[in-house]
Amino acid sequence: MIGSVSTVRISFRALWVNKMRSFLTMLGIIIGVGAVITMIAVGKGTSEQVSKQIATVGSNMIIVLPGSTTAGGVRGGMGTQMTLTRDDAEAIERECSAVLYAAPILSGVAQIVYGNQNWATSVQGTATNILAVRDLSLTAGRNFTDQDIRNSTKVCILGQTVVNMLFGGMEPINQTVRIKKVPFMVIGVLESKGQSVIGRDQDDVIYIPLTTAQKRIFGTTFPGMVHTIAVKARSAEDLSRAEEQITQLLRQRHRIGPKQEDDFSVRNLTQMLELAQQAAKAMALLLAAIASISLLVGGIGIMNIMLVSVTERTREIGIRMAVGAKTWDIRLQFIIEAITLSLIGGMIGIILGIIASQLLSYFAGLTTIISPLAVILAVGFSGLVGVFFGFYPAYKASLLNPIDALRYE
């Protein structure tokens, strides 16, 4: 026990005497641990941001898009042909057991005017259940009703961005705005949803009754036609079943034969957004892996310096062996030095990593989350680096012949 304490004391003294060399040895570990902490914080923050954006879109969401056109052998993309109707949406909600709600949407961009203020935004004619489909809530006012739909009432619900641009700090409820010169009364204000995964402002929108949009704002070539149908499945487990039921129902309603292509497209929005989240997580792991390389480089630096130290202190090692130090004592001395350098460097690296994460969050606007697990792993890994790369120099030192060591100049 006394010999071990003496070995520890000798190790610390050797590091303190060579302070500059000890610091330069730790530098690789400091940079490596700091980089790992920072990159994991950035990756975890990005993943968390994507998760929040997924939540804002709405849970268990499915989007039904109209089909494509084919003219002169040239095929247009999805949505170039109006093939969906309000009746399709009602049939989906009524006949598909895995579906909770289905909201038809007829949308376009229009100029909105209030007083001397104006703003171009997305205007969406839809049904009353759109709030339930999109997991939206109102901060003021009310939703439009089935009677508003039947009577094509000129009422609207504003997103928070539209409220800010047109009204500033004024109360918008019961005020009149003009959409394509048609007066609409504001009956509700939506709670802010922020940006979507693709960076679109989800608050830059106005909802109006579907029939009002068809008759007063956009018009349709065929009555009842809509651009999309937003569907909410009963649960995440019902998403696949809902897709199958919607596909079968629409093929039947549109009289599509067994060998004919669908004139619509059913897309599981939740799965698409989860893929974005998985990509963010993969990027976080990639960043952490790249940063870990610097830890490896730092470990190699420790080994190189310790090997030089063994050479420089050959005579000292010979004297210790001559006065009774055992092989294990010599090995323990150099291993303790390597571990001490790694752990101190790791601690400093953690502090710098946390500071760097906060600076990135403040100046670059990145979302960073410090993970306690990442901190623990970084410290543990830096200790393992010290043991791994410190063992060979320690082993080499313990094999020195005491007589040869004493003769070494």
In the predicted model, is pLDDT for residue 407 greater than 60? no
Distance CA 328, CA 336 (A): 12
Q: How far is CA 18 from the centre of its chain?
A: 45
Confidence of residue 154 (pLDDT cuts 50, 70, 90): very high
In the predicted model, is pLDDT for residue 245 greater than 90? yes
Cα 34–Cα 35–Cα 40 angle in degrees, nearest 5 = 105
Confidence of residue 68 (pLDDT cuts 50, 70, 90): low
Count of C-beta atoms within a 10 Å radius of residue 396? 16
In the predicted model, is pLDDT for residue 406 greater than 70? no
Pick from 229-238, 241-250, 384-393: least confident: 384-393
In the predicted model, is pLDDT for residue 71 greater than 50? no
Q: Look up residue 402 and give its two tokens.
A: 């005491």
Measured in degrees and rounded to the nearest 5, phi and psi for residue 272 equal -65, -40
Residues 6+ apart with CB under 8 A from 23: none
Q: Look up residue 357 and give its two tokens.
A: 């994460």
Q: Mean pLDDT throughout 332-348?
A: 81
**Predicted pLDDT at 73:** 43
Are the CB atoms for 137 and 143 separated by under 8 Å? no
Are the CB atoms for 390 and 337 separated by under 8 Å? yes
pLDDT digits (tens, 9 = 90+) for 10-65: 666 766 777 777 787 788 788 888 888 888 888 778 777 766 666 666 668 889 99
For the ranges 78-82, 147-151, 293-297, the one whose mean pLDDT is highest: 147-151
**Predicted pLDDT at 72:** 41
Residues 6+ apart with CB under 8 A from 101: 93, 129, 132, 133, 231, 232
According to DSSP H, which parts of 254-326 are helical?
Answer: 269-312, 314-322
Q: Is the pTM of this model over 0.85?
A: no
Q: Which residue has the higher pLDDT, 15 or 203?
A: 203
**Predicted pLDDT at 263:** 86
Measured in degrees and rounded to the nearest 5, phi and psi for residue 290 equal -65, -45
Q: Look up residue 114 and give its two tokens.
A: 């209030």
Q: Which residue has the higher pLDDT, 145 or 3?
A: 145
pLDDT digits (tens, 9 = 90+) for 284-312: 777 777 767 777 777 777 777 777 777 76
Distance CA 289, CA 329 (A): 36
Q: Which residue has the tokens 């530098």?
A: 27
In the predicted model, is pLDDT for residue 357 greater than 80? yes
Are the CB atoms for 307 and 396 separated by under 8 Å? yes
Q: Look up residue 145 and give its two tokens.
A: 């009703």
Q: Give the start-to-end residue ranges of the domains of the chain.
A: 2-53+275-407, 82-262
In the predicted model, is pLDDT for residue 77 greater than 50? no
Measured in degrees and rounded to the nearest 5, phi and psi for residue 222 equal -120, 130
Distance CA 239, CA 56 (A): 18
pLDDT digits (tens, 9 = 90+) for 263-290: 888 988 666 666 666 777 777 777 777 7
Q: For the chain, what is the mean pLDDT?
A: 81
